Structures are given as C-alpha cells and as structure tokens.
C-alpha cells in the first residue's frame, strides 16, 4: 500500500508518524513545498520576541531525522501541483530543479494548511517592511529586520491571536506598537465585554489600539499607514495578521467539494468527496461541536487529532471526528485569554436561546499571596443545563478553568454537574470551591 501526504507540518507529520506506527510495510511519501517539516508554528512569535532564543528548538523534526526514525520518504521543497484522480497520481514540482514528475498513491492525505490573507490594499506592493507570519522563512525575515534595522514602531493589522502575539513580542523588543482592528474588539472568540478587559490592558501598557477602523492605504513605501477614517500612523514595519485562507487550490482543481468559505468538505471519517482522498487541518471545513454548523477553525489541536484519526481510518479503524469545540488560549502581556465552545455572538446569530453568568473568583485562595481575579463567563441552556461555552480572562489560572470546562463539555456534563467536579485544592492553586464549581453554583 502506498500513502501520499501533502503538507509536512502539523497535520501531515502527525499522520505520517501514526501511519508508520500502525503499519511497518506501507510506502509513505510526504511532500512539503517549504524547506522545513514539522516546525513549531505556534512558537514563531516567541522566537521573534526572544523568549525562545534557540532557533533550532523551533525545528521539531528534521527531514533526515524524521525519515530515519519513521522510515518515511520525505521530500521537502517539493510542491504537489495537481491531483490526477483518473489515474491516482499527483504531479509534483521539485522546487530545487524545476523538474516535474508524477507519483502514484493508493490513498492521499491533504494537509496543506491555510495561508495569511493579503488583501489588495493600495500601496501594499510598494511597502518595504511589510510581513506576514506563517513559517520559518517569514520568521527569519521579521526577526532579521527587527535585529538589524532597529525599527522603533510597528503597525499590526488585525487583532486576532497571531496579531496580539506579535504585538506582545514586538512590544517586548521595545517597539511602539499600534494595532488596527476593523471590528469593535480584538480576539473574535471572546464576547465584547470580555475583550474589553484586554483593550484596557493593551492601552495601559502603552499599545496604541485602534478599533472599528481598517487600513485604507499604505503610503511612503510603507512608512505611513492611513486608516479608513483618515488616521495617519507613521511606522517602521507592518505585520498583516487579518486571518487565514485555506490552501484549497489543489482540491478545487481536482473537483473535490469545498464549502462556502473554501474549506474542503469531509465526512466524519475525514474523507473528501473522493473516498481515496482524505483532508485534515486548517484546510478543511469542520462541524462546530456545539451548534453543528459547518465552520473553519484553524488551530493546532484539531490538526493533530485529525492527523491521527486519518491514519487510523486508512487502516480501517473507523474512528469518527466529532467536530471542533474551538478551545483556544493566548497570552496577551500580563493576561491570559482562553475560550471554549460558542460565544454569545454565535448563539445570537444562530437564534439559539441561552443564559449567561459572569463571575470574578480569585485564581486561588485570597489569603495566599499572588491571587488575582479571573473574569469568567459561562454560557448555557437554561432548561437542560447544557454548556455552550466559556470564556476567561485573567492573570493566573485561566488555562486550567477553561480546560476543565472544555473537558466537561466533551464529557456531556451540564452546568449542574460543574458543582460536583471534585478538583484539586491547596491555597497556592485554588479555593475549596474552585472557580469552575462557583460557576456551577451561580448558574443553578
């Protein structure tokens, strides 16, 4: 049996390793158009900010190391440019030589990810120091610019996860940072009142936060950013972080079904509309775990989980992917922001009735030093107690509470059950009634 994988980072590399563990004899070929495979995408902003100082640590696996360890045929700098479904082959372009060839497959796994959106903003092409961040070469470009050109000011376009992580890391490098966000809030998975805690924090730190305004043009070769309402911001560098778009071109050309937002459609076994072709990761449309609507959730947990499931299914295990909850977390300077499940905005849009409770428990016992409040929001169905989602913002203990609630959701626990989760307690860590228990008490 021969399995071909397109994309050698989160989803692709996970699938390859699991496939080999399940079967020692299959031929497994993994194509990656970039130079690096299996690198730590999520660590890239922290290398630019110099919290991570060793570049090698970002390279989780090398082509040679992973090929030997798992007996894989890994070809980097090799772009799959076509899928030929009539004869079960892919056309590959060797980016070193420009040569093209065909490679046959019995089963094909697509994990090409998603790329940063770059809208045609006037002046973009003429701008010198404008960057997007997806991979190691992007990271090297940004870091080298910060290291050698001594920029004093940066404009971040887009206040999502990557935008805020870059804002933090450039701030840590001593730059004066402006964030421009079209919506009235940063961090779309949060509801407005939760995001506003972060708005205040960013401003307190001296970050220039511009909300409800977008970029109209870049002027003076990118030295000036002009916004829709006419603000002018002088800058030495620009980061575009306004979201990602699925790399669906191969799939579209091959006639595979894609959804409204371009995500490849798959069934619960992660098969595309061609049953010999599977797709995983940022490129697919997933079912929202809470509301069951199709959505796109480009995060590392789903890509890794799907990578493993796809390998299991290729070996006949029939494992289902039940949808994505969208649990996510980010560090924003002194704060941590985390969410799981649906927010109010989504439930409202879908017309799903819900109840909300807000509470502000301490991260641990108040009499033990270092406790700080957590703003915790729990959203649920009043009748059944079904938990729809939770959001938390605070300086400490946020990750644990959201992870417990995410676990509760996956375990089908209701808000009534939250009071009964017996959690570990000692004063440095929690209270005898943990914030998650408290949320249950307040909700019921």
- Tell me the catalytic residues: 42
| Shortest reach from residue 84's CB to ligand FAD, in Å | 14
Whole-number Å distance between alpha carbons of 152 and 177: 9
In the complex, least distance from residue 160 CB atom to ligand FAD, rounded to whole angstroms: 10
Q: Is the Cβ of residue 168 or residue 282 nearer to ligand FAD in the bound state?
A: 282
Residue from 176, 269, 301, 354 touching ligand FAD (CB under 6 A): that is 301
When asked if residue 10 is in the footprint of ligand FAD (CB under 6 A), the reply is yes
Q: Does 368 bind ligand FAD (CB under 6 A)?
A: no
CB neighbours (10 Å) of residue 2? 15
Instruction: Rule CB under 6 A: say whether 362 interacts with ligand FAD.
Output: no
| Distance, CA of 428 to CA of 437 (rounded, Å) | 17
In the complex, the smallest distance separating the C-beta of residue 44 from ligand FAD, rounded to whole angstroms, is 4
Contacts to ligand FAD from residues 243-272, by CB under 6 A = 247, 250
Candidates 111-119, 337-345, 386-394, 434-442: pick the segment binding ligand FAD (CB under 6 A).
111-119
Does residue 400 belong to the site contacting ligand FAD (CB under 6 A)? no
Extended strands (E) in 294-411: 294-295, 328-332, 335-341, 355-359, 374-380, 387-394
Backbone angles phi, psi at 57, to 5 degrees: -65, -20
Of 179-187, 262-270, 300-308, 422-430, which segment contacts ligand FAD by CB under 6 A?
Answer: 300-308
Q: How far is the CB of 303 from ligand FAD (least distance, A)?
A: 3
Beta-carbon contacts of 211 under 8 Å, excluding residues fewer than 6 positions away, are 159, 181, 183, 184, 185, 186, 199
Residue with tokens 């970039």: 34
168 part of the interface to ligand FAD, by CB under 6 A: no
CA dist 84 and 276 (Å) reads 12
Report the alpha-carbon distance of residue 314 to residue 318 in Å, rounded: 8
For 148, other C-beta atoms within 10 Å of its C-beta total 8
- Figure out which of the listed residues 3, 6, 121, 314 binds ligand FAD, where binding follows CB under 6 A: 6
Instruction: Identify the residue whose tokens are 């946020």.
Output: 398
Instruction: Let me know: does 310 contact 281? Beta carbons within 8 Å.
Output: no
Verify binding: residue 60, ligand FAD, rule CB under 6 A: no
Shortest separation between residue 100's beta carbon and ligand FAD, angstroms: 13
The sign of the dihedral angle between the CA atoms of 380, 338, 301, 345 is positive
* Sign of the dihedral through C-alpha 27, 29, 30, 36: positive
Residue nearest to ligand FAD (CB): 281
Minimum separation from the CB atom of position 329 to ligand FAD (A): 7
112 is an interface residue for ligand FAD by CB under 6 A = yes
- HSE-up (13 A, CA, CB side) for residue 179: 33
Q: ∠214-123-225 over CA atoms, to 5°? A: 45
Choose which of 77, 188, 226, 300 interacts with ligand FAD (CB under 6 A).
300
Selected binder of ligand FAD within 3, 4, 5, 11 (CB under 6 A): 11
Q: Which of 4, 5, 7, 340 binds ligand FAD (CB under 6 A)?
A: 7
Q: Are 141 and 196 in contact (CB under 8 A)?
A: no
Give yes or no for residue 41 binding ligand FAD (CB under 6 A): yes
Q: Which residues bind ligand FAD (CB under 6 A)?
A: 6-7, 9-12, 31-34, 41-42, 44-45, 79-80, 111-113, 133-134, 162, 247, 250, 281-283, 298-301, 303
């Amino acid at each position: 049996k021969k399995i071909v994988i397109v994309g050698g980072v989160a989803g692709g590399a996970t699938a390859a390793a699991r496939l080999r563990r399940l079967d020692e004899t299959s031929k497994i070929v993994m194509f990656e158009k970039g130079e690096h495979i299996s690198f730590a995408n999520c660590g890239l902003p922290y290398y630019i900010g110099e919290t991570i100082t060793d570049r090698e640590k970002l390279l989780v696996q090398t082509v040679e190391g992973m090929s030997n360890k798992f007996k894989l045929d890994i070809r980097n700098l090799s772009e799959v440019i076509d899928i030929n479904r009539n004869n079960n082959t892919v056309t590959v372009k060797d980016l070193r030589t420009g040569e093209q060839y065909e490679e046959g497959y019995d089963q094909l796994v697509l994990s090409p990810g998603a790329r940063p959106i770059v809208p045609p903003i006037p002046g973009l092409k003429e701008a010198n120091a404008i960057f997007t961040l997806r991979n190691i070469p992007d990271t090297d470009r940004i870091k080298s610019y910060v290291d050698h050109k001594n920029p004093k000011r940066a404009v971040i376009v887009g206040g999502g996860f990557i935008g805020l992580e870059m804002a933090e890391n450039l701030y840590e490098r001593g730059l004066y940072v402006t964030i421009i966000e079209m919506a009235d809030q940063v961090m779309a998975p949060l509801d407005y009142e939760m995001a506003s805690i972060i708005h205040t924090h960013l401003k307190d730190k001296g970050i220039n936060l511009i909300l409800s305004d977008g970029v109209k043009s870049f002027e003076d070769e990118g030295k000036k950013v002009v916004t829709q309402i006419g603000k002018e911001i002088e800058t030495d560098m620009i980061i575009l972080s306004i979201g990602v778009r699925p790399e669906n071109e191969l799939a579209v050309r091959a006639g595979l079904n894609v959804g409204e937002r371009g995500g490849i459609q798959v069934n619960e076994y992660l098969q595309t509309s061609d049953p010999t072709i599977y797709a995983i990761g940022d490129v697919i449309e997933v079912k929202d775990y809470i509301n069951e609507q199709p959505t796109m959730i480009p995060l590392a947990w789903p890509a890794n989980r799907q990578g493993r499931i796809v390998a299991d299914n290729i070996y006949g295990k029939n494992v289902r992917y039940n949808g994505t909850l969208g649990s996510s977390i980010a560090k924003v300077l002194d704060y941590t922001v985390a969410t799981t499940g649906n927010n109010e905005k989504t439930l409202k849009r879908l017309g799903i009735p819900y109840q909300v409770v807000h509470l502000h428990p301490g991260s641990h016992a108040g009499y033990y030093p270092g406790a700080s409040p957590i703003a915790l929001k729990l959203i649920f169905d009043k009748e059944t107690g079904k938990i729809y989602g939770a959001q938390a913002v605070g300086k400490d203990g946020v990750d644990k509470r959201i992870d417990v609630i995410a676990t509760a959701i996956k375990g089908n626990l209701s808000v009534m059950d939250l009071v009964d989760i017996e959690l570990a307690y000692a004063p440095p860590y929690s209270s005898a009634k943990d914030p998650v228990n408290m949320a249950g008490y307040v909700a019921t």
